[in-house]
Amino acid sequence: MKKELITLNINGDDHEIAVYPWRTLNEVLRDQLHLTGTKLGCGTGDCGACTVLLDGQSVSSCLTLAVEAQGQKITTIEGLALEAAANKDLEKCELDPIQESFIAKGAIQCGFCTPGMIMSTKFLLDHTPKPTEAEIRAGLSGNLCRCTGYNKIVDAIADAAEKISPTK
């Protein structure tokens, strides 16, 4: 079978690439484009470390074919921190409030689940700006973490929600 020439819009940039039809979005992001912020933790859609947004919808990039992602706006962890990435001086630029809350609240330990956690949180807060704790936990149930016991991640998400949509 031959490779197809496709264009993927990732974090606002168009990338023209040749891929086999069976290539996953995760493989393209990581192996071809070296956008390695998106992780691969299991390859079977169980752990959520590979979560990205397709037109704002969270998906497991390990279960999404690259060809399926054509014509959609792909956002990865690098895109969420786009200003940070564009600014050479990381210390001075602003991050997404979700990223800031994850840092401040101790929600990060080894950090391997973090990009996926943050992308799932982005999806959650875009659709449920004022989540209850149960809604946060349900929103994270597709993302596994082995370090934190999740509590500090839940705290961080509540903190971010408050920053994004302050209680009046």
Partner 1 sequence: MSTDHNFSVVGKSLPRSDGRIKAVGAAQYADDIFLPGMLFGKLLRSPVAHARIKSIDTSAAEALPGVKCVITGQDIPKVKYGNWRLVPESQDEYALAIDKVRFIGDEVAAVAALDKDSAEEAIRLIKVEYEELPGAYSVEESLADNAPVIHDEYHQDIPNISLDRKIEYGDLDKAFAEADLVLDDVFTVHATSHAYMEPCSCVAEYDHDGRLTIWTSTQAPYFVQCLLASTLEMRENDIRVIKPFVGGGFGGKMEMRPWEFCAAFIARKLGRPVKFTLTREEELATGRRRHPMRIHSKVGFSKEGMLLAKEFNVHLDGGAYNSMGPTACFLCGNFGAMLYNYPNYRYYGAHVYTNKPPAGAMRGFGAPQALFVAETQMNVAAEKLGIDPVDIRLMNAMETGDEIPGVATISSCGFKESLIKVAEMTNWREKRKNLKPGQGLGLGCYSFISGGVFNWFNTRYNFTSAEVRAFDDGTVHLMTMASDIGQGCDTVLRQILAEELGLKVSDIRLTAADTAVTPQADLGTWGSRVTLMAGNAVRKAAQEIKEELFRMVSLKFDLNVIHDLRCGDGKIYPANRPDRAVPFGEAVRMAQRAKRGEPVIGYGSYTPRNKGLVTPAFSFGAQVAECEVDKETGAVEVKFMTTAHDCGTPINPMSVEGQLEGSVHMGLGYALSEQFIMKEGKTLTTTFLDYKIPCAEDMPPGISVHVDTYEPDGPFGAKEAGEGLVSPTAPAIADAVYAATGYRCMDLPLTPQKVLAGMNKI
Residues that bind partner 1 (CB under 8 A): 30-31, 34, 36-44, 46-47, 49, 76-78, 80-81, 84-85, 90, 95, 99-100, 102-104, 106, 108-115, 118, 136-138, 140-154
Q: Whole-angstrom Cα distance, residue 50 to residue 149?
A: 19
Amino acid at 110: C
Which run of H or of E encompasses 130?
A: none
Smallest separation (angstroms) from partner 1 to the CB of 53: 13
Non-local (6+) Cβ contacts of 111 within 8 A are none
Of residues 89 and 168, the one with the C-beta less far from partner 1: 89
Q: Whole-angstrom Cα distance, residue 98 to residue 161?
A: 8
Of residues 37 and 74, the one with the C-beta less far from partner 1: 37
CA angle 14/30/62 to nearest 5° reads 100
Q: Token pair for residue 82?
A: 């786009």
Q: Token pair for residue 154?
A: 């839940």
Of residues 9 and 109, the one with the C-beta less far from partner 1: 109
Smallest separation (angstroms) from partner 1 to the CB of 140: 4
Nearest by Cα to 60 from 38, 83, 82? 38
Smallest separation (angstroms) from partner 1 to the CB of 51: 12
Of residues 58 and 99, the one with the C-beta less far from partner 1: 99
Of residues 6 and 80, the one with the C-beta less far from partner 1: 80
